[in-house]
């Protein structure tokens, strides 16, 4: 090919003889080849031979000498252009190849190589012009139209890119690759209506293809043309009533129209179709309804759909997770825990799943032993997470195992609290544990930290003030805190007793008696309150 392509510009090319008006071949006079032309062709052959044998530098010199001696020899310029292209000299390649093509504009190889050089140079418009010439010479070769379309895209002329594909379509008819590419081009050009027309032509040309109807219906939905979308969905339903996706699409259609009951009906029809796989059903459940709908307004249909999924997919961990989450949000914690445990048996790598189980068990008073066991395991798997340690500390506090409480919560504090999650709860629990283990300074620090996080927790504030009174330290601060609790809850017997007792310790028995007497009136069964009152009254 190389020799023939090169020689075509120096007398080696033979143009087809024209025909007369009746289409008959017209004999052309024979032209004699001059000695000079033969010598030029011989030099071209020699240059090509040098090039093909790998002696490229010598070939380059041979082509350059030939171009200088015979500037009308297109083959010389073509050879120079190819040499420049191989060396990465894009500008020189375009100049030489452009001259070769100008001298012989019917040589396909010259034009194709020029188009390649223009692409490397980044001359998109020049490449478009060259490809147009190639298409004109080869009007039945589809590949060149695709290249022309792509060149127009690079040149930023999207309508021209579409027009090149239109020419293909006139030869091949409507096809999916061409129609969808044209749609994308019109969308990129901001011509949404033209893009939609392309999909319409595709769907109308192949009405039996459900996929095209669905693409078009989705496009209509995106433009808010719901009536047209419904017509396409109806075509799909008429073509294949057992299509596993059509009812999902109709459900979305009715949801957009604000007809939730119709949407629910279509969802149930979709889920009743055995061809719809479990993964798709679960994905739809997770995305079709908002949380408020699924767990409140549409709760009934939500659980009906879950039951339908469970009939076919109940043994799959993905279903157990979705069902467990739904039960958990309904505060059906024991049932939710069973589902989440099933999911963990298959995959224990997700902390979020562990956290869901721990929350369920923490709300089930009958499974404290399981809660402790699972929390310990979760801590081993995810040592930097707060909830497992906090729950173990909470259980230990119930058992008066304060050293365990301190150990778990100090470990949690070391890792830090992500976005403050459970920081207040852990700090309050730690304050109580420090106090019970005689670590009073640490206890006061923890109480102060807790009250910064929860400044209106009157019960904890009362405990803090009372503990300081027990240790007879910081009584002025204790009095201030206790006064706040009494102001906030004037009928709380414990707060009244704490405040009265602190006033007594400060030597203000007369001020203390009204509070202590009121505390006993509110809770006459408390021996501690009566003991405090009796001691202060005995001093009067």
Query: What is the domain partition of the chain in residue ranges?
Result: 384-455
At residue 28, does pLDDT exceed 80?
no
CA–CA distance from 217 to each of 208, 233, 245 (Å)? 15, 7, 13
Q: What is the pTM of this model?
A: 0.57
Cite the DSSP H helix spans in 330-474. 333-346, 351-362, 368-381, 386-398, 402-415, 423-436, 440-453, 458-471
| DSSP conformation class of 413 | H
8 A C-beta contact, residue 175 and residue 198:
no
Give the model confidence (pLDDT) of 261-270 as tens digits: 999 899 899 9
Give the model confidence (pLDDT) of 488-497 as tens digits: 999 999 999 9
pLDDT-above-70 percentage for the chain: 92
Give the model confidence (pLDDT) of 91-144 as tens digits: 998 999 999 999 998 899 999 999 999 999 999 999 999 999 999 999 999 999
3 state SS of 19? strand
Which pLDDT band holds residue 293 (cuts at 50, 70, 90)?
Answer: low
8 A C-beta contact, residue 251 and residue 267:
yes
List the one residue out of 257, 261, 266 whose CA is nearest residue 221.
257
DSSP letter string, 68-117: HH-TT-HHHHHHHHHHHHHTT-HHHHHHHHHHHHHH-TT-HHHHHHHHHH
- Fold that domain 384-455 belongs to in CATH: 1.25.40
CA-CA distance, 355 to 396, in Å (whole number)? 19
8 A C-beta contact, residue 428 and residue 454:
yes
Summarize the confidence of residues 57-86 as an average pLDDT: 88
**What pLDDT is recorded for position 176?**
86
Which pLDDT band holds residue 534 (cuts at 50, 70, 90)?
Answer: very high
CA–CA distance from 402 to each of 270, 374, 433, 440, 443 (Å)? 56, 20, 5, 14, 13
CA-CA distance, 327 to 426, in Å (whole number)? 27
Summarize the confidence of residues 365-382 as an average pLDDT: 96
CA-CA distance, 292 to 288, in Å (whole number)? 12
**DSSP H or E stretch at residue 252:** helix 246-257
8 A C-beta contact, residue 305 and residue 271:
yes
Give the model confidence (pLDDT) of 150-182 as tens digits: 999 999 999 999 999 999 999 999 988 898 899
**DSSP H or E stretch at residue 124:** helix 124-137
Residue 389 φ then ψ, to 5°? -70, -40
């Amino acid at each position: 090919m190389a020799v023939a392509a090169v020689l075509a510009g120096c007398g080696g090319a033979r143009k087809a003889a024209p025909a007369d008006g009746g289409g008959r071949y017209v004999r052309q006079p024979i032209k004699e080849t001059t000695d000079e032309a033969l010598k030029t062709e011989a030099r071209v052959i020699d240059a090509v031979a040098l090039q093909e044998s790998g002696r490229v530098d010598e070939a380059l010199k041979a082509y350059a000498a030939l171009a200088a001696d015979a500037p009308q020899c297109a083959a010389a310029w073509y050879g120079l252009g190819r040499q420049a292209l191989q060396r990465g000299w894009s500008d020189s390649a375009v100049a030489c190849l452009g001259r070769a093509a100008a001298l012989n504009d019917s040589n396909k190889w010259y034009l194709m190589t020029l188009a390649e050089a223009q692409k490397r140079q980044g001359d998109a418009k020049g490449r478009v012009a060259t490809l147009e010439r190639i298409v004109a010479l080869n009007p039945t070769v589809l590949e060149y139209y695709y290249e022309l379309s792509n060149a127009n895209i690079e040149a930023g002329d999207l309508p021209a890119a579409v027009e090149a594909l239109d020419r293909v379509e006139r030869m091949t008819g409507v096809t999916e690759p061409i129609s969808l590419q044209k749609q994308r081009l019109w969308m990129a050009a901001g011509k949404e209506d033209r893009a939609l027309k392309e999909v319409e032509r595709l769907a109308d040309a192949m009405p039996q293809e459900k996929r095209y109807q669905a693409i078009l219906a989705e496009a209509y939905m995106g433009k808010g043309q719901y009536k047209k979308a419904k017509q396409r969905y109806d075509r799909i339903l008429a073509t294949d009533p057992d299509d596993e996706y059509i009812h999902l699409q109709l459900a979305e259609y009715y949801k957009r129209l604000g007809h939730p009951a119709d949407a629910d009906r279509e969802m149930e029809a979709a889920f009743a179709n055995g061809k719809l796989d479990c993964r798709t059903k679960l994905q739809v459940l997770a995305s079709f309804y908002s949380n408020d709908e699924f767990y409140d307004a549409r709760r009934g249909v939500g659980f009906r759909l879950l039951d339908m999924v469970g009939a076919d997919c109940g043994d799959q961990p993905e279903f157990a997770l979705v069902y467990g989450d739904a039960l958990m949000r309904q505060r059906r914690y024991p049932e939710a825990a069973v589902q989440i445990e099933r999911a963990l048996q298959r995959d224990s790598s997700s902390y979020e799943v562990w956290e869901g189980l721990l929350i369920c068990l923490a709300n089930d008073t009958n499974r404290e032993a399981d809660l402790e066991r699972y929390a310990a395991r979760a801590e081993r798997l995810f040592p930097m997470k707060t909830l497992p340690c906090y729950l173990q500390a909470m259980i230990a506090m119930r058992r008066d195992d304060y050293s365990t409480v301190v150990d778990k919560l100090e470990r949690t504090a070391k890792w830090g609290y992500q976005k403050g999650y459970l920081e207040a709860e852990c700090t309050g629990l730690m304050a109580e544990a420090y106090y019970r283990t005689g670590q009073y300074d640490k206890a006061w620090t923890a109480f102060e930290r807790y009250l910064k996080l929860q400044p209106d927790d009157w019960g904890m504030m009362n405990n803090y003030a009372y503990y300081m009174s027990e240790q007879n330290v910081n009584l002025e601060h204790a009095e201030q805190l206790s006064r706040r609790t009494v102001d906030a809850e004037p009928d709380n017997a414990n707060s009244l007793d704490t405040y009265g007792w602190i006033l007594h310790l400060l030597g203000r028995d007369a001020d203390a008696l009204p509070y202590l007497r009121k505390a006993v009136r509110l809770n006459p069964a408390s021996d501690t309150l009566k003991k405090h009152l009796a001691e202060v009254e005995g001093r009067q």
